[in-house]
Chain A
């Protein structure tokens, strides 16, 4: 992607909505006096902190090619006693369109301290482009309260969270499950769930041929190896398998290595899911599914490669295998997948509920 970033740095103090709009339009103007067209498919509000702001800005620029948007980056510090508002504007203009035409995406960065930081919706609301969907992203693991209590959540059509961004993964999953239980909550997405799409697709592919589909009913044991900071993915993966395959949660126990052993009651007997942390670069390292006949299904990722290998084994004999690209799984790519969707993700919600349910046993 070819593009250039243009900015009016922060420090202008408080600006009115009209001044911000004029400022953005000025930034879109090219040297020759022509105006870069503004292409927008969505509004993206990001609630973040000082340390993450730079990374967030980079991700927004990267995503502007696929999801040209108006992004509002809110950096709030309500603890600060004195009210302070700083606004910075930037546009990222892509020039691939040819014919010398720019198409620009816009970023408004709002630093807010003191009491207004408790009312971010009053700043974000007037800056949204009308008639376009609103996505609200919390990159740092924060989880909003119900929209009834949180004005920002009430602005959004979809809230994007990250249950893997905090130490207390299980608490985070519980809080998200509570959030989605409110009727007025908009659609909720989770970057940890987005990261599972490829793995879920690879596992589903293993059982796609009709003669293997019947093995789904014969699963006895599942092993998931994950990096310690990817516990949320491992739990959501287990929740997904069990909710899709109709396994009832029975018990959960902690293993010595910090992992978990989950027991479900499946259609043909108990199913054990063992989650094992593994020092690995790969968030998910391996999923193995053992059936009560001789079949084993496996998806694994090697340490150094971004490829994944799927295999079907009968006893020790490999009867099918393939290697594929896992695709990018950086935060930008995962956020991109979330921005693709509108409406509630019922499969996620079912997996989340099941994961929380088994943790409570």
Chain B
């Protein structure tokens, strides 16, 4: 009879019901590592508890250490218990963990992939994962090219029986432009770009996405968001912590690779991009790439003038004396690795011509703050007396990403009294605290997007390469000179950084 009248979406065509991901299996390479325990499994557990994981879902951890499925599950549960302080439901864990498996294997060896493929085939049969595969590369970055190659050789770059295959790459996306290109080319040899999900968890943060909401859901900002009205833009990504136990990693990375190439460039893109025609992967990422393409490349002379690095030395942060970078664990006592970067960038397009973007990122700053400050031109003429407007400064719109998410607008207002004295007043709009609901963890959001096949908040190949190509001349210049300026921990960077805006008659604002 007329059974075909009922569409598969008959029960789901309803705005109250969330979109459900298809069945699938997620393979985590480097599963014994920290990321799996601290981020991936907790995020998947929360998705499971909140009914966002399909019944037919499996996680396969792959790593070299020998372990049984049960041991792997126990380790993950212990880590989750520790993180949640007992807030783990036995029933939900029991049901979720039945879909967690472990394979011991060397990800460099082809036979591991034969075994993996066979195992995933069994899961398709037993758990109904329907040939859909997600490969999460959370192993050492040096293994990424090999894993991709082995997956491709084993034919696992396609899902089984019409299912999908998606691959997730954790940052760093290379160490420089050349290695990023090599990595991208290596992955693209086997996977199409639409299958590749480069994850920068920064984009999964609710507060970062709010930059887009503020700009593109409000009609009053866009008309003045350009060189006619904006004098300059400052972007700050400051941390108050030092490198802690990550000394060895940081020695290789430095602030430029750790923060500027990814997080800071993403914030720059979101601040400067044109309005996308739709909030979908291609429209949003295309506009971001256009910003990166428009950023003026620096020559050697320009690097001298517009790029400053620094390294923290012993100092005081929030009442505590903290060691200098060279005194940190696993750090070379004569290291020249930068813990602070400040750049003056120009986005050479119609909207931003001539508007400097002063950007900085650093560790051991006086406080943790991520913010974008858009300073507008001063009023062209003030009819009030000079004496009355001494305290008046140009309008500044500050978008605070964290902490205390919100917007501040500095505006001129009359001081009550018989004269006409005008002073600047900061108007704070803490929209972040208007909604007190806890925002979902960035990984939770991004893993769900991955399962739903929505790469909007993931990084496209040309974004990674665009960001590296902007920084390439800076890295080259710095690698050739051994001198690095120092700044005491608990300050806003070396004096040289202050000179960047000062030379243009401007100054850094204090976040």
A interface residues, Cβ below 8 angstroms from B: 1, 37, 39, 41, 64-66, 68, 94, 96-99, 101, 103, 197-198, 200-210, 213-214, 216-218, 241, 244-246, 267-269, 305, 307, 309-310, 312, 319-325, 327, 337, 341, 345, 347
Contact = CB atoms under 8 A, between A and B. Distances in A.
Given A200-B16, A323-B95, 7 more contacts: A98-B403, A98-B433, A101-B433, A205-B54, A208-B8, A208-B22, A245-B6
B404 interface: yes
Contact of A103 (B3, B50, B55, B434): B434
A198 B433 contact: no
B436 A321 contact: no
Contacts of A96: 433, 436
B12 interface: yes
Which of A68, A320, A323 has its CB near the most chain B CB atoms (within 10 A)? A323
Interface string B357-391: 00000000000000000000000000000000000
Nearest to A64: B436
A305 B2 CA distance: 41
Q: Is the interface of A mostly helix, strand, loop or mixed?
A: mixed
B81 interface: no
Given A197-B17, A310-B55, A244 B433 contact: no
Contacts of A309: 91, 95
Contacts of B17: 197, 200-201, 204
B429 A37 contact: yes
B11 A323 contact: no
Which 4 A-B residue pairs are closest in the complex by CB-CB distance? A97-B433, A65-B436, A217-B3, A213-B8
Given A97-B433, A203-B11, A307-B89, A324 B48 contact: yes
Contacts of A245: 6, 10-11
Contacts of A209: 22-23, 54, 56, 128, 130
B95 A198 contact: no
B30 to A, nearest CB: 27
B6 A217 contact: yes
A97 B11 contact: no
A325 B434 CA distance: 27
B18 A97 contact: no
Contact of B50 (A97, A210, A310, A324): A324
A201 B51 contact: yes
Interface residues of B, number: 50
Contact of A1 (B3, B12, B22, B436): B436
B51 A202 contact: yes
A101 B404 CA distance: 9
B94 A323 contact: yes
Interface of B: 1-8, 10-18, 20, 22-23, 48-51, 53-56, 89, 91-92, 94-96, 127-128, 130, 403-404, 406, 428-437
Nearest to A97: B433
Contacts of B92: 307, 323-325
A313 to B, nearest CB: 13
Nearest to B46: A325
B54 A101 contact: no
Contact of B91 (A41, A206, A323): A323
Nearest to A269: B1
Nearest to B3: A217
B3 A214 contact: yes
B435 A65 contact: yes
Given A320-B128, A325-B50, A327-B50, A65 B55 contact: no
Given A268-B3, A325-B49, A327-B50, A103 B430 contact: yes
Nearest to A40: B434
Which of B14, B127, B128, B429 has its CB near the most chain A CB atoms (within 10 A)? B14
A197 B404 CA distance: 33
A37 B430 contact: yes
Given A218-B3, A267-B1, A321-B95, A312 B55 contact: yes
25 contacts: A37-B429, A97-B430, A101-B430, A204-B11, A206-B55, A207-B8, A209-B128, A213-B8, A214-B3, A241-B11, A244-B11, A305-B91, A309-B95, A320-B128, A322-B48, A322-B53, A322-B55, A322-B95, A322-B96, A323-B94, A324-B49, A324-B95, A327-B50, A347-B13, A347-B15
